[in-house]
Amino acid sequence: MTVASATGRAWWGTGGLVRRKAIPQAGWMVLATVVGFLVLWPILQLQWRAFVDGGSAFARVLALPRIGTTLQTTIVLAILSSVLAVFIGTLLAWCASMLPERVRRIGEVAPLLPLVVPAVAAVTGWIFLLSPKVGYLNMILRKLPGMGGMEEGPFNIYSVTGIIIITGLLLSSFVYVFVFTGLKNMGQELEAAAAACGASPAMRFFTITLPLLRPSIIFATGVVFLLGLGQFTAPLLLGRTAKIDVLTTEMFYLTERYPIDFGLGAALGFPILAIGLLVVLVQKLALGEQRRFVVVSARSRYNVRETRPWAAVVIGIYLLVTTVLPLLALIYVSISPFWSGSLVVPEFTLRHWTSVLKNVGLVDAIWTSVKTSVIGIAILIPLGFLMAFALLQSTRIIRPARMAIDLFATLPIAVPASLMGFGLLFVYSQPPIQIYGTNAVLVVTYVTLMIGHSTRLQFTTLVGTGQEFLEASRASGAGALRSLFYVLLPMCRKGIAATAALTFVLLFHEFSASLMVRSARTQVIGSVMYDVWAGGVYAEVAVLALIMVVVTVIGVLIAGWLGGTDSVQRKD
Partner 1 sequence: MKNSPTGHSSPIFSKRRAVALVAGLAFAAAVPMGSALAQANSRNVPAAEWTKIQDAARKEGKVIVYATMAPSVHDRIVAAFNAANPGIKMELVRVIGSAQTAKFEQERTAPGVEGGDLMLTADVRWAMEGAKKGYLKAPVGPATAAYPEAFIKGGHVALVGLTPWVLNYNTNLVKTPITGYQDLLRPELQGKVGSTALVAEVVSLFYKWLDDSNPGYLEKLAAQNVKMYPSSVAATNSTGSGEIAVNAFSIIPIDNALHAQKAPLRTVIPNPSFGFAYGAAVVSWSKNPNAALVALDFILSPRGQAALVGNQEAGSPLPGVAGSIDIAKINLTLVDWDKVNMESVKAFEVKWNKLFGAR
Query: Does 341 engage in binding with partner 1 (CB under 8 A)?
Result: yes
Asked if residue 240 binds partner 1 (CB under 8 A), the reply is yes
Which residue number, 205 or 533, has a Cβ lying nearer to partner 1? 533
348 makes contact with partner 1 (CB under 8 A)? no
258 binds partner 1 (CB under 8 A): yes
- Residue 16: CB minimum distance to partner 1, A: 45
Q: Which stretch binds partner 1 (CB under 8 A): 30-38, 167-175, 436-444, 467-475?
A: 436-444
Strands (E), 423-566: none
Contact assessment for residue 497 and residue 560, using Cβ atoms and an 8 Å cutoff: yes
* Residues 246 and 74: beta-carbon distance below 8 Å: yes
Q: How far is the CB of 255 from partner 1 (least distance, A)?
A: 7
Taking the least distance from each CB to partner 1, the nearer of 180 and 538 is 538
Site string for partner 1, 530-569 (x = CB under 8 A): -x-xxxxxx-------------------------------
Closer to partner 1 by Cβ: residue 128 or 225? 128
Q: Which is nearer to partner 1, 355 or 393 (CB)?
A: 355
The 3-state secondary structure of 420-480, one letter per residue:
HHHHHHHHHCCCCCCCCCCHHHHHHHHHHHHHHHHHHHHHHHHHHHCCHHHHHHHHCCCCH
Among 14-22, 125-133, 393-401, 470-478, which window interacts with partner 1 (CB under 8 A)? Answer: 125-133
User: What is the distance between the alpha carbons of residues 275 and 524, in angstroms, rounded to a whole number?
Assistant: 30
C-alpha 249/C-alpha 257 separation (Å) is: 13
Long-range contacts of 282-289 (CB under 8 A, 24+ apart): 282/222, 283/218, 283/219, 283/222, 284/410, 286/218, 287/215, 287/218, 287/219
Quickly count: other Cβ atoms within 10 Å of residue 290's Cβ: 15
Q: Which helix (H) or strand (E) holds 224?
A: helix 214-229
Q: Which of 303, 434, 476, 565 binds partner 1 (CB under 8 A)?
A: 434
Tell which positions 359-398 bind partner 1, by CB under 8 A. Answer: 360-361
Q: Establish if 432 lies at the interface with partner 1 (CB under 8 A).
A: no
- Total residue length of the chain: 572
Contact segment (CB under 8 A) with partner 1 among 168-176, 219-227, 318-326, 519-527 equals 519-527
Does 63 help bind partner 1 (rule: CB under 8 A)? no
Total residues at interface with partner 1 (CB under 8 A): 42
Nearer to partner 1, 337 or 382 (CB): 337
Contacting partner 1 within 444-503 (CB under 8 A) = none
Rounded CA-CA distance 561/572 in Å is 16
Please identify which residue in 31, 167, 230, 245 interacts with partner 1, judged by CB under 8 A.
245
Cβ nearer to partner 1, comparing 135 with 376:
135
Q: Measuring CA to CA, how many Å separate 379 from each of 138, 371, 443, 478, 572?
A: 46, 12, 9, 26, 22
d(CA 534, CA 474): 58
Near partner 1 by CB under 8 A, which window of 333-341, 405-413, 456-464, 471-479?
Answer: 333-341
Nearest-approach distance from CB 258 to partner 1, in angstroms: 4
Residues 6 or more apart whose Cβ sits within 8 Å of residue 482: 473
Report CA dihedral (489, 492, 495, 496) to the nearest 10 degrees: -10
Of residues 337 and 564, the one with the C-beta less far from partner 1: 337
Min dist CB 534 to partner 1, Å, is 5
Cα(284)–Cα(389) distance, integer angstroms: 20
Q: Does 511 bind partner 1 (CB under 8 A)?
A: no
Q: Cβ of residue 123: shortest distance to partner 1, in angstroms? A: 15
Of positions 303, 521, 554, 564, contacts partner 1 by CB under 8 A: 521
399 binds partner 1 (CB under 8 A): no
Residue 297 interacts with partner 1 (CB under 8 A): yes or no: no
C-beta atoms surrounding 148 within 10 Å: 8
Q: How far is the CB of 473 from partner 1 (least distance, A)?
A: 47
Q: Which is nearer to partner 1, 213 or 234 (CB)?
A: 234
Among 82, 90, 248, 255, binds partner 1 (CB under 8 A): 255
Contacts of 343 (CB under 8 A, 6+ apart): 136, 139, 140
Tell me how far apart the alpha carbons of residues 560 and 568 are, in angstroms, rounded to a whole number: 5
Among the listed residues 256, 289, 296, 298, the single contact to partner 1 using CB under 8 A: 256
Q: Which of 90, 97, 131, 552 binds partner 1 (CB under 8 A)?
A: 131
Q: Which is nearer to partner 1, 310 or 338 (CB)?
A: 338
CB-based contact 153:354 (threshold 8 Å): no
Which residue in 159, 290, 393, 438 binds partner 1 (CB under 8 A)?
438
Q: Is 429 in the site for partner 1 (CB under 8 A)?
A: yes
What is the four-CA torsion angle of 353, 171, 138, 529, rounded to 10 degrees?
A: -30
Q: Which of 47, 388, 363, 420 is nearest to 232 (CA)?
A: 420
Q: Which residue in 302, 437, 465, 474 binds partner 1 (CB under 8 A)?
A: 437
DSSP result, 158-209? SSHHHHHHHHHHHHHHHHHHHHHHHHHTS--HHHHHHHHTT--HHHHIIIII
Alpha-carbon distance of 236 to 18, in angstroms, equals 54
Q: Which residues form the interface with partner 1 (CB under 8 A)?
A: 65-66, 131-134, 240-243, 245, 253, 255-260, 337-341, 360-361, 429-430, 434-438, 519-521, 531, 533-538
